[in-house]
Amino acid sequence: MSAMTLKSRLRELAPRRVRAHRILGGPLKGRVIVTSLHDYPGAVLGRTEGPLLEWFRANIAPGETWLDVGAHYGYTAIAMAESTGPRGLIYAFEPTLDTAASVVKTIALNHLNNVSVVPLALGSPGRLRIETVAVDRGMANHAFGGSASGQIFVVAFDEFWEAIGRRPVHGAKIDVQGMELDVLRGMTGMLSEHHPKLVIEFHAGVDRGEILDVLRGAGYEFPGAAVDPAPDEATPAYRDDHSYAFKARTD
């Protein structure tokens, strides 16, 4: 039996009840996350996103404003909030309403007053609209679908940015299960003006060339840096389910 098959079978046996869990290990040990063992066992055990959390610690400065696009149950939002400190601000975008409600509880239980939970999906240019999407383990999943479906509210970040007064944004984590290109297209105004640091998780079926074209047009340099590089990844391959960091051109 493959490791992935075993993991899937163990997940099916795990409790589905969403409740507060103390994180048992890893960099966020002792923090609290509201989720279920079925949906997000890695967060409860503290065995997920290790390289990404290390990247946050190296790249997020106190007092900065960051976007957590695809916050899921708030694991990465906790880490980002710790790095920005109380003078910083995190906008945690999670469009699946039940999951967003869990993030609100997670933030409250950890006394993180610098996180604002936004129950919206970010997408391509345009005003607020409603879309029907597949839902899997508490997330809107455009890459592989899911066993249920739900409606989410979608808006381009540049529209949201106007509503918050075009405040400077210092960085963004984007993990949106196949919607990476649409998210980036919807924030080109902000990207071109502020050139925030970006860390993007790529997913199957997403055209890497189109994503890189959008970033190039917004003034970013290449290649991106693998957050968790493979041993033989001298040149970024932009692998599925791995994160890559991008920064503005310096010329």
Contacts with 11 (C-beta within 8 Å, 6 or more apart), sequence order? 38, 41
Break the chain into its structural domains and give their ranges: 48-246
Q: If you classify domain 48-246 with CATH, what class do you get?
A: alpha beta
Write the single-letter amino acid at 208: R
Is residue 66 a contact partner of residue 172, using CB atoms and an 8 Å limit?
yes
pLDDT in tens, 69-123: 999 999 999 999 999 999 999 999 999 999 999 999 999 999 999 999 999 999 9
Peptide bond into 223 cis (omega under 30): yes
Task: Compute the average pLDDT of residues 127-153.
Answer: 81
Distance separating alpha carbons of residues 15 and 56, to the nearest angstrom: 30
pLDDT at 141 over 90: no
Could you identify the residue written with the tokens 């609290």?
32
pLDDT at 197 over 60: yes
Instruction: Write down the pLDDT at residue 117.
Output: 98
Task: Note the helical H segments in the chain.
Answer: 3-13, 41-45, 50-59, 75-84, 97-109, 157-163, 180-185, 188-194, 208-217
Distance separating alpha carbons of residues 82 and 57, to the nearest angstrom: 9
Q: Predicted confidence band at 140 (pLDDT cuts at 50, 70, 90)?
A: confident
Token pair, residue 221, equals: 């340099």
